[in-house]
């Protein structure tokens, strides 16, 4: 049966009244672990902070290695715990009218500014991507999508020093509908952009007029696709806490190491940050000429490094070998498509890249 949005809202209202009469409480406001969604690859700002630090959010190293996450956790930890709840209702498609410049990443300070810290200008940790990449939106509630609007900042805009505005964005793509599913993907072509950018995704959910506003920070390698080029380097930027963090490495160093696995995938490793005793890394997994449905990346470390936290994959350690298995939402890749996972680790002495083996099915 096809109901108009209005009819659906009325029906939902009637159900809510009935439920209340029965003594039940019906809430669609953010509650910890409530089921909605966000862009998980490249990670949205608060999803990334949750993935990198959720199990370790009191780690003092966050302030010098990931200062934007540190300020967000300080402002309100619920911004991260509710990484999937950044939405407004009743916008009726008038997104630009509803959201003032400088407030794009918080959905116009939606929900009383619950997500306001995501608008803070500074060096957000960014995912390294080739210029053609696949973005993944995870929809834990399976709302479906009427459309996704995918914007990327114009070349020359610097998100580490300038507030995000509508005029700083270029609409790259408006997708069609997605039937309700645990995740939605879109192939994105960033053109000839290089360096640091923000991808801004508006997800118009289908169950009612609910729209999500999601900022993901990206460093484009300038390559057409596949593995990141080794010449990547982010423009180092001043951060409010940079002066207090002498050990913070100024720019990510990427070292590509591809190995054609028997199942048809390659993996490329990039160290994204390093500090005394710790480091962050991201690994890009690219399917070969045949599509794949699952992947595993075996990383063998020669210098005794250990993993302390990870995101977008499940990591298990056996001696000096760490095996990463895809998450539920990023195992399936069509030919040539890429996804990435990341981790934080500890090191002493030498911190060389691991050798990688990618296998897929």
Q: Which is nearer to Cu ion, 66 or 146 (CB)?
A: 146
- Nearest to 351, CA basis, from 246, 234, 245, 255: 255
- Nearest to 359, CA basis, from 292, 282, 312, 284: 292
For residue 354, with 0-12 CB atoms within 10 Å meaning exposed, 13-18 middle and 19 or more buried, which class applies? buried
CB of 26 to Cu ion, least distance (A): 13
Stretch that binds Cu ion, among 72-80, 109-117, 134-142, 284-292 (CB under 5 A): 134-142
Q: Which is nearer to Cu ion, 75 or 141 (CB)?
A: 141
Contacts with Cu ion in 7-46 (CB under 5 A)?
Answer: 36
CB of 79 to Cu ion, least distance (A): 17
CB of 36 to Cu ion, least distance (A): 3
CB of 144 to Cu ion, least distance (A): 11
Task: Compute the radius of gyration of the chain from its Cα atoms.
Answer: 20
3-state secondary structure 196-242: EEEEEEEEEECCCCEEEEEEEEEEECCCCCCCCCCCCCCCCCCCCCH
Angle made by CA atoms 154, 343, 202, in degrees to the nearest 5: 35
CA distance linking residue 104 with residue 303, whole number of Å: 42
Q: Measured at CB, which residue is nearest to Cu ion?
A: 36
For residue 296, with 0-12 CB atoms within 10 Å meaning exposed, 13-18 middle and 19 or more buried, which class applies? buried
Among 141, 172, 258, 315, binds Cu ion (CB under 5 A): 141
CB of 195 to Cu ion, least distance (A): 34
Query: How many residues form the binding site for Cu ion (CB under 5 A)?
Result: 2
- The reply to whether 208 sits near Cu ion by the rule CB under 5 A is no
Q: Which is nearer to Cu ion, 141 or 325 (CB)?
A: 141
Q: Which is nearer to Cu ion, 205 or 313 (CB)?
A: 205
Interaction site with Cu ion (CB under 5 A): 36, 141
């Amino acid at each position: 049966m096809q109901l108009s949005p209005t009819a659906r809202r009325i029906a939902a209202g009637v159900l809510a009244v009935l439920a209340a009469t029965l003594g039940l409480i019906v809430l669609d406001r953010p509650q910890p672990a409530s089921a909605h969604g966000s862009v998980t690859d490249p990670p949205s700002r608060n999803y990334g902070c949750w993935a990198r630090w959720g199990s370790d959010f009191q780690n003092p190293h966050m302030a010098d290695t990931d200062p934007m996450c540190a300020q967000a956790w300080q402002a309100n930890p619920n911004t991260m715990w509710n990484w999937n709840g950044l939405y407004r209702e009743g916008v009726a498609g008038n997104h630009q009218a509803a959201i003032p410049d400088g407030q794009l990443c918080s959905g116009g300070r939606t929900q009383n500014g619950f997500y306001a810290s995501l608008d803070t200008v500074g060096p957000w940790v960014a995912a390294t991507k080739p210029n053609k990449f696949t973005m993944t939106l995870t929809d834990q509630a399976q709302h479906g999508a009427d459309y996704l609007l995918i914007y990327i900042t114009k070349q020359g805009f610097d998100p580490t020093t300038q507030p995000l505005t509508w005029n700083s964005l270029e609409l790259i793509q408006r997708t069609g509908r997605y039937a309700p599913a645990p995740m939605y993907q879109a192939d994105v072509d960033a053109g000839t952009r290089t360096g640091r950018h923000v991808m801004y995704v508006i997800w118009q959910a289908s169950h009612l007029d609910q729209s999500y506003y999601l900022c993901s920070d990206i460093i484009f390698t300038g390559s057409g696709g596949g593995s990141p080029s080794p010449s990547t380097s982010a423009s180092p930027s001043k951060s409010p806490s940079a002066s207090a963090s002498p050990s913070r490495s100024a720019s990510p160093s990427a070292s590509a190491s591809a190995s054609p696995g028997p199942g048809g995938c390659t993996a490329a490793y990039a160290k994204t940050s390093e500090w005394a005793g710790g480091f962050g890394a991201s690994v890009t997994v690219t399917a070969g000429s045949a599509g794949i449905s699952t992947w595993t990346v075996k990383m063998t470390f020669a210098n005794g490094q250990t993993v302390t936290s990870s995101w977008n994959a499940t990591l298990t350690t056996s001696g000096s070998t760490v095996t990463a298995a895809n998450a539920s939402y990023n195992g399936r890749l069509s030919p040539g498509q890429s996804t990435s996972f990341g981790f934080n680790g500890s090191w002493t002495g030498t911190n060389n890249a691991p050798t990688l083996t990618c296998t897929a099915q």
